[in-house]
């Protein structure tokens, strides 16, 4: 590991290679698990656990300096839009003193030797890679200086490395490309190195544009479905009309096999797969299939029946104390974590080997599972991690990769498999439906206790993170509890001094395809908490901002809350039907606060929107964030922006309706994620000055405070605390598409319809 050997001195490696390759172990010193306390996340949170988990098993990550003067690094994480290729390049540019444009970041194939340490989740990437990447780059820098000393005939101390060129006192320079071979090592050896102190940073902390932006805006950026793998023809699956239904029989296989463009039709575990020259012909073939289906895993279930299951599983809040209390119960409906890029993967399976291309956040688990399914040794399955078109938790799983492998093996040909949008909503993973009950007991000015009981349809954590938690759960001061409960405990945090704090999760019903959605439990848990904080303030006649501020436990927390109140002009007069809301959330070693203004006046709520939901308009958001140390403030701002849009969607418009064992939603005009007409025209994100030597997590952070602030604002604008989310769930704002055939026909009005 990059062992800390004194102030800013770390151990890394120079590797035997024809060009300069330096490395460090992908792990950091663990936070030591100390005595149990009421607030476990102060000792150890999910990110510590993920970092600890990596310790005994981690492999090396390496930085290579190439003869053309570029520097390459294969990041063992998935880039799905969160900007980690850019922030990783910045770390290298900082320590190696090369221009950012010379740093080439690729995504590493699945590397089984990294075991737990190739999982992109828990907003952990920057936390876990911040030191190792810099150590490897710093060793490269010192090797280059030594090599240049030989070339220039000067002592390394008389040389400077800047902008990729080593210069001596007389001004003679040599490019690092010309030194790469000379700086290479014939043997692998350990090297101690000092890292640049924070006060000398010139790249880290500077707002930086994404390194892949040009590729993206010119259409050159390649996602999985854009890759040209020879022979990999478009493939789609005809899926059941209810969740996880199974194929009974197919009446017209021969007929569909003979359709224009179709090359193969084959029954697989999840449906009937069709391979054709174009996806358009796959769509036609899927629609033509006449399949008899068997029951699924949620047969006959509806929102109402699942709500009853949840109610039966609720852990009681306990005896009501003799003091005054505020109590609330909230319902959060199923939500989709689907990205605009649907589930998709390319697979080329041969008799003795397989190759997979997909955006995967847990590629090792994918590799192992696919190998087992195909009956191949793990070493014969190569898994390439493609750039992902969004994830929001969805790409922790590899549903499409597993299907693609199965189809390719069955038909003996490469396939490019993609889910239709309707499949993605109806059979794709969802954030589970949940209820949250909260009780706050108080007496006079003192808050005595905070109790929260979260009851949820089971979240599938079987993507690797679960294994990490299971492996370490026994060592944690939380007793013998399952990994979902452990995850819940470790990801939640009580930011307020509310006396005795108790939170528990109970889960029911494993019949749904679920997964962690961005920020996992927190959007729901925090929304319920913050609404009840507003209730408490109202009951005691206190201002929601002032009361939060009074009870927040630490200074960083107070600072972000004060910031949004001040910049957002908390308490300013607003017309009837409009209001402000304020909320706080801490997670991933970061703190955040949101101030939201909402317009709930009828003329706004009922403004006409074609094939969409108008609803209340969030007119303004002020958001403050402190991640300890912000590597790239511009990227951090982007992540907060995305979290805010998610929060608006979760509070107001985005939900799945379950009826008769299937979700009614099948398109983006049914599932109402935030659109331009819901976007706040006024948005201000404040990145607080760094308060730490180390970065906290950011990718998911923005959601919880945002959804909570929108809910609080809505409650204050309408005078009624919302208790069901999204708030418009009771109204079905679209006509559901049929389930047989499972996907809609392709329209023909693309050139003529209104834009």
Partner 1 sequence: MPEHTFRVNGEQVTVDVADDVRLLWVLRDILGITGPKYGCGVNVCKACTSHLNGVAVSPCAIPVGELRPADEVTTIEGLAATVGRELHPMQQAWLDQDVVQCGYCQPGQIMAAVDLVRRAAAQGRAITDADLDSLRNICRCGTYFRIREAIKAGARNM
Task: Report the interface residues with ligand FES, using CB under 6 A.
Answer: 81, 340, 390
Nearest in space to 543 (alpha carbons), one of 582, 503, 490, 511: 582
Smallest distance from the beta carbon of 628 to ligand FES, in angstroms? 26
Output 524 or 665, the one with its CB closest to ligand FES: 665
Smallest distance from the beta carbon of 703 to ligand FES, in angstroms? 16
Smallest distance from the beta carbon of 234 to ligand FES, in angstroms? 14
Nearest in space to 189 (alpha carbons), one of 137, 143, 128, 134: 143
The answer to whether the CB of 358 falls within 8 A of the CB of 239 is no
Find which of partner 1, ligand FES, none residue 210 binds, CB within 5 to 8 Å per kind: partner 1
346 DSSP β-pair partners: 357, 416
Smallest distance from the beta carbon of 388 to ligand FES, in angstroms? 9
Q: Are strands 325-332 and 20-25 parallel, antiparallel or unpaired?
A: unpaired
Output 216 or 443, the one with its CB closest to partner 1: 216
Place of tokens 């709520």: 605
Output 202 or 277, the one with its CB closest to partner 1: 277
DSSP state letter for 4: B
Distance CA(507)–CA(454), nearest Å, equals 8
Find which of partner 1, ligand FES, none residue 345 binds, CB within 5 to 8 Å per kind: none
Locate 549 and state its tokens: 């501020």
What phi and psi, each to the nearest 5 degrees, are found at residue 248? -90, -75
Find which of partner 1, ligand FES, none residue 260 binds, CB within 5 to 8 Å per kind: partner 1
What is the rounded (10 degree) CA torsion for 49, 50, 54, 60? -140
Find which of ligand FES, partner 1, none residue 693 binds, CB within 5 to 8 Å per kind: none
Find which of partner 1, ligand FES, none residue 342 binds, CB within 5 to 8 Å per kind: partner 1
The answer to whether the CB of 328 falls within 8 A of the CB of 454 is no
Output 195 or 232, the one with its CB closest to partner 1: 232
Smallest distance from the beta carbon of 369 to ligand FES, in angstroms? 27
- Per DSSP, the residues of 436-458 read EEEEEEEETTEEEEEEEEEEEEP
Output 284 or 509, the one with its CB closest to partner 1: 284
Output 79 or 348, the one with its CB closest to ligand FES: 79
Find which of ligand FES, partner 1, none residue 577 binds, CB within 5 to 8 Å per kind: none
The answer to whether the CB of 558 falls within 8 A of the CB of 546 is no
Find which of partner 1, ligand FES, none residue 672 binds, CB within 5 to 8 Å per kind: none
Find which of partner 1, ligand FES, none residue 691 binds, CB within 5 to 8 Å per kind: none
**Based on C-alpha coordinates, what's the Rg of the chain?**
27
Smallest distance from the beta carbon of 518 to ligand FES, in angstroms? 13
Position with the least CB separation from ligand FES? 340
Locate 385 and state its tokens: 């991690």
Smallest distance from the beta carbon of 651 to ligand FES, in angstroms? 20
The answer to whether the CB of 237 falls within 8 A of the CB of 270 is yes
Find which of ligand FES, partner 1, none residue 510 binds, CB within 5 to 8 Å per kind: none
Output 541 or 681, the one with its CB closest to partner 1: 681
Smallest distance from the beta carbon of 733 to ligand FES, in angstroms? 19
Distance CA(499)–CA(227), nearest Å, equals 56
Output 266 or 609, the one with its CB closest to partner 1: 609
Residues 6+ apart with CB under 8 A from 193: 9, 10, 11, 12, 135, 138, 139, 142
CB-side neighbour CA atoms (13 Å) of 346: 22
Smallest distance from the beta carbon of 742 to partner 1, in angstroms? 13
Output 201 or 223, the one with its CB closest to partner 1: 223
Q: Which regions of 468-577 does DSSP assign to beta strands (E)?
A: 500-508
């Amino acid at each position: 590991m990059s062992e800390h050997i004194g102030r800013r001195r770390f151990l890394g490696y120079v590797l035997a290679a024809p060009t300069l390759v330096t490395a460090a172990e992908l792990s950091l010193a663990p936070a030591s698990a100390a005595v149990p306390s009421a607030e476990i996340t102060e000792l150890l949170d999910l990110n510590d656990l993920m970092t600890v988990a990596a310790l005994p098993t981690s492999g090396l990550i390496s930085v290579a300096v190439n003869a053309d003067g570029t520097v390459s690094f294969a990041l063992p994480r998935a880039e799905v839009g969160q900007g980690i290729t850019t922030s990783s390049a910045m770390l290298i540019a900082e320590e190696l003193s090369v221009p950012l444009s010379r740093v080439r970041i690729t995504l590493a194939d699945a590397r089984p030797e990294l075991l737990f340490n190739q999982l992109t989740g828990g907003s952990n990437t920057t936390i876990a890679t911040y030191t190792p990447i810099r150590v490897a780059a710093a060793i490269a820098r010192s090797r280059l200086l030594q090599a240049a000393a030989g070339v220039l005939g000067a002592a390394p101390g008389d040389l400077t490395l800047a902008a990729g060129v080593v210069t001596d006192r007389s001004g003679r320079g040599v490019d690092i490309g010309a030194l790469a071979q000379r700086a290479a090592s014939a043997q692998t050896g350990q090297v101690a190195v000092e890292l640049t102190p924070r006060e000398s940073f010139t790249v880290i902390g500077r707002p930086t544009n994404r390194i892949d932006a040009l590729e993206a805006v010119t259409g050159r950026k390649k996602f999985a479905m854009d890759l040209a793998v020879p022979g990999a023809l478009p493939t789609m699956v005809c899926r059941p009309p209810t969740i996880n239904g199974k194929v009974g029989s197919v009446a017209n296989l021969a007929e569909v096999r003979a359709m224009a463009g179709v090359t193969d039709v084959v029954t697989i575990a999840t449906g009937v797969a069709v391979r054709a020259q174009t996806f358009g012909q796959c769509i036609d073939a899927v629609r033509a299939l006449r399949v008899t289906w068997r029951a699924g895993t949620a047969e006959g279930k509806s929102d109402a029946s699942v709500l009853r299951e949840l109610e039966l599983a609720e852990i009681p809040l306990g005896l009501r104390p003799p003091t005054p209390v505020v109590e609330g119960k909230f319902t959060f409906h199923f939500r989709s974590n689907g990205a605009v890029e649907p589930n998709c993967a390319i697979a080329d399976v041969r008799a003795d080997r397989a190759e997979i291309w997909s955006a995967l956040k847990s590629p090792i688990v994918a590799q192992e599972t696919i190998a087992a399914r195909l009956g191949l040794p793990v070493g014969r399955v190569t898994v390439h991690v493609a750039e992902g078109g969004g994830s929001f938790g969805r790409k922790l799983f590899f549903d499409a990769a597993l299907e693609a492998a199965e189809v390719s093996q069955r038909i003996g040909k490469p396939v490019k498999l993609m889910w239709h949008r309707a499949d993605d909503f109806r059979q794709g993973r969802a954030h589970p439906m949940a209820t949250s009950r909260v009780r706050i007991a108080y007496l006079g000015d003192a808050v005595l206790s905070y109790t929260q009981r979260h009851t949820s349809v089971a979240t599938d954590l079987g993507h690797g993170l679960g294994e990490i938690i299971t492996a370490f759960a026994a060592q944690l001061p939380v007793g013998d509890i399952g990994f979902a409960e452990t995850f819940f405990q470790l990801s939640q945090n009580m930011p307020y001094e509310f006396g005795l704090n108790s939170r528990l999760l109970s889960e029911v019903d494993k019949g749904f395809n679920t997964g962690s959605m961005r920020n996992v439990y927190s959007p729901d848990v925090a929304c319920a908490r913050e609404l009840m904080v507003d209730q408490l303030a109202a009951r005691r006649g206190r201002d929601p901002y002032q009361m939060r501020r009074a009870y927040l436990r630490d200074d960083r927390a107070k600072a972000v809350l004060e910031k949004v109140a001040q910049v957002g002009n908390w308490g300013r007069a607003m017309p009837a039907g409009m209001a402000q809301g304020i909320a706080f959330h801490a997670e991933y070693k970061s703190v955040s606060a949101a101030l939201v203004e909402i317009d709930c006046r009828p003329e706004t709520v009922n403004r006409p929107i074609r094939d969409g939901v108008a609803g209340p308009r969030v007119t303004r958001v002020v958001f403050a964030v402190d991640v300890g140390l912000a590597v790239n403030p511009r990227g951090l701002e982007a992540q907060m922006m995305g979290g805010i849009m998610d929060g608006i969607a979760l509070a107001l418009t985005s939900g799945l309706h379950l009826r008769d064992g299937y979700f009614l939603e099948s398109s983006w005009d049914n599932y109402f994620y935030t659109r331009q007409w819901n976007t706040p025209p006024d948005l201000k994100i404040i990145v607080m000055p760094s308060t730490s030597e180390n970065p906290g997590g950011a990718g998911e952070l923005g959601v919880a405070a945002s959804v909570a602030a929108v809910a609080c604002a809505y409650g204050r604008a309408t005078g009624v605390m919302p208790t069901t989310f999204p708030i418009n769930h009771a109204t079905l704002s679209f006509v559901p598409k049929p389930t047989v055939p499972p996907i809609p026909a392709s329209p023909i009005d693309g050139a003529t319809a209104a834009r």
